[in-house]
Amino acid sequence: MGLALLVPILAPLAAAAFAAAVGWRRLSSYVTVLAAFAVLATGVVLAVGLAAGLDSGVVHGAGSLLRADALSVTMLLVIGTVGTLATWASVGYIDAELEHDHTDATGARLYGVLMPLFLAAMALAVLATSIGVMWVAIEATTVATAFLVGHRRTRAAVEATWKYVIICSVGIALALLGTVLLYFVSIHAGAVSGDALDIDVLLAHASELDPAVTRLAAGLLLLGYGTKAGLVPFHTWLADAHSQAPAPVSALMSGVLLSVAFSALLRVKSIIDLALGTGFLRAGLLVVGIATLLVAACLLFVQTDFKRMLAYSSMENMGIVAIAAAAGTELAIAALLLHVLAHGVAKALVFLAAGQLQAAHDSTAIRDVTGVLTRSPLIGTAFAVGLAVLIGLPPFAMFASELSISRALAQAGLGWVLGAMLLLIVVAFAALVRNGSRMLLGPPDPGSPAIAVPRSVAGALVAGVVLSLVLGVTAGPLTDLFRSAATLLGASS
């Protein structure tokens, strides 16, 4: 099983090398799709192995440089699922960009190289044994996505790229400082220098870490990785980057990258909680979670751009995830992971559909898009299903996850947090319903353009709708995986 851990990293790297060699071709684009599916398949294989009790819940590979447990496997499933949908849709998306002269052969080749590199970096981030390597991998996602955000090379895209790079570089620098401080206290707790940042070593020495330095490290790591997760106060890059990036890239950034960054916080939290108790990071996560939810709800209510609306919806959901992590119970963590998976699939749906709407109207203004269900039943249905998931309507999975998070908050004695969260969710719900209904319902405006849907985009949208429905009906064997991850992270019962 240890060799399987190399597949989610080597398969996308091979796809990137192939795309660099041959350029954007139908073959190279589908090689990337296969690489993304390999990530998903590896996650499934590892999940089956862990369910069978393999290696006591942890699999090591590449000379112990890589490790997989229930959290790693859950994130591989998210990366693989959304990555497959996004790379599949990319085939038709880039072909259309080339046809309409929105990019050239060089831009398409760069896109074909960077997308699998992005997948490889995220896979390495969730599989790394060392939190130092995890930091490097998350920084690598910034490098890859910076060029993807600026794919069209317009003034707005370049501005969004620089904003993204500068703000995330500040955040990742803070995370680096926190990582260095953890290395320092780990060495002074008796760890060997070469293994001082290994997750298992830090967990074993957690009770011996210097409390004062560990508090400083925890604060820096919360701010640093919170920046990449789209949490307040360093959230301002998110809407610009997601609104300017190509639709498949937005799907990956919103549906996966934010969650990968937050999974790094969960890793750190399991160490910090053992060293300092659960109160320190709980307070920080509650503050940034509620603040993020408040900012997102307010901005959603006044939003007039549908891609920025979807970006602020991602902020809203990351705020909910942060609040669930603060609760820290087994129910809260398991619900958090279901929320992350359902949100990833839903964001793939809405961003891929939004990309076709943008291409048809040459605009992302909500007022310019009307009667989508009438004009394109496929795009309209996909967008409607994605929105239904995001606003937490039954029977979709985010209804169950938000209900479970609410129960966990009540059981943890955080009733005031629950009240504030539900109030802000209602505000976000109203904003998404109002804007979504404007776009989807009613007769189309006279002269509305046709909405073209390439075959690969159509296939990805149909698959996403089916996945959303299946996740809504039952989480199936994933439930045990989520509970195992919660236990692994030290969740209380």
DSSP string, 191-230: --GGGTTBHHHHHHTGGGS-HHHHHHHHHHHHHHHHHHTT
Mean pLDDT estimate for the chain? 93
Q: What is the mean pLDDT of residues 312-327?
A: 96
* Cα 314 from Cα 242, distance rounded (Å): 10
Residue 173: in which H helix or E strand, if any? Answer: helix 155-188
Q: What is the mean pLDDT of residues 125-153?
A: 94
493 within domain boundaries = no
Query: What is the C-alpha end-to-end distance of the chain, expressed in Å?
Result: 30
484 within domain boundaries = yes
Domain of 45, in residue numbers: 2-488
Q: What is the mean pLDDT of residues 384-408?
A: 95
79 within domain boundaries = yes
Residue 414 in this model has a pLDDT that exceeds 90: yes
226 within domain boundaries = yes
Q: Where are the alpha helices (DSSP H) in 302-414?
A: 306-327, 330-361, 372-375, 377-390, 397-411
More confident residue, 24 or 490: 24
User: Are 330 and 492 within 8 A, CB to CB?
Assistant: yes
Residue 94 in this model has a pLDDT that exceeds 60: yes
Closest CA relative to residue 427, chosen from 265, 294, 263, 322: 294
**Residue 408: band (very low, low, confident or very high) from pLDDT cuts 50, 70, 90:** very high
Beta bridge partners of 130: 198
pLDDT score, position 489: 87
* Cα 194 from Cα 486, distance rounded (Å): 28
Give backbone dihedrals phi and psi of 68, rounded to 5 degrees, phi first: -130, 130
Packing angle between helix 211-228 and helix 258-276, nearest 10 degrees?
Answer: 170
Query: Could you tell me the CA-to-CA distances from 131 to 106, 126, 138, 265, 389 in Å, in that order?
Result: 35, 10, 10, 10, 33
Q: What is the mean pLDDT of residues 79-101?
A: 94
Number of domains in the chain: 1
pLDDT score, position 50: 83
Residue 214 in this model has a pLDDT that exceeds 70: yes
Residue 192 in this model has a pLDDT that exceeds 80: yes
Closest CA relative to residue 373, chosen from 365, 364, 381, 361: 381
* Cα 334 from Cα 56, distance rounded (Å): 19
Closest CA relative to residue 262, chosen from 327, 334, 336, 196: 336
370 within domain boundaries = yes
Closest CA relative to residue 77, chosen from 31, 117, 42, 30: 42
pLDDT score, position 34: 98
Give backbone dihedrals phi and psi of 49, rounded to 5 degrees, phi first: -65, -45
pLDDT score, position 490: 76
pLDDT score, position 493: 53
308 within domain boundaries = yes
User: Are 386 and 469 within 8 A, CB to CB?
Assistant: no
* Cα 487 from Cα 493, distance rounded (Å): 9
pLDDT score, position 54: 61
376 within domain boundaries = yes
**Residue 52: band (very low, low, confident or very high) from pLDDT cuts 50, 70, 90:** confident
**Residue 56: band (very low, low, confident or very high) from pLDDT cuts 50, 70, 90:** low
Q: What is the mean pLDDT of residues 34-60?
A: 86
- What are the contacts of 473-476 at 24+ separation with CB within 8 A? 473/395, 475/338, 475/397, 475/400
349 within domain boundaries = yes
pLDDT score, position 1: 64
Residue 474 in this model has a pLDDT that exceeds 70: yes
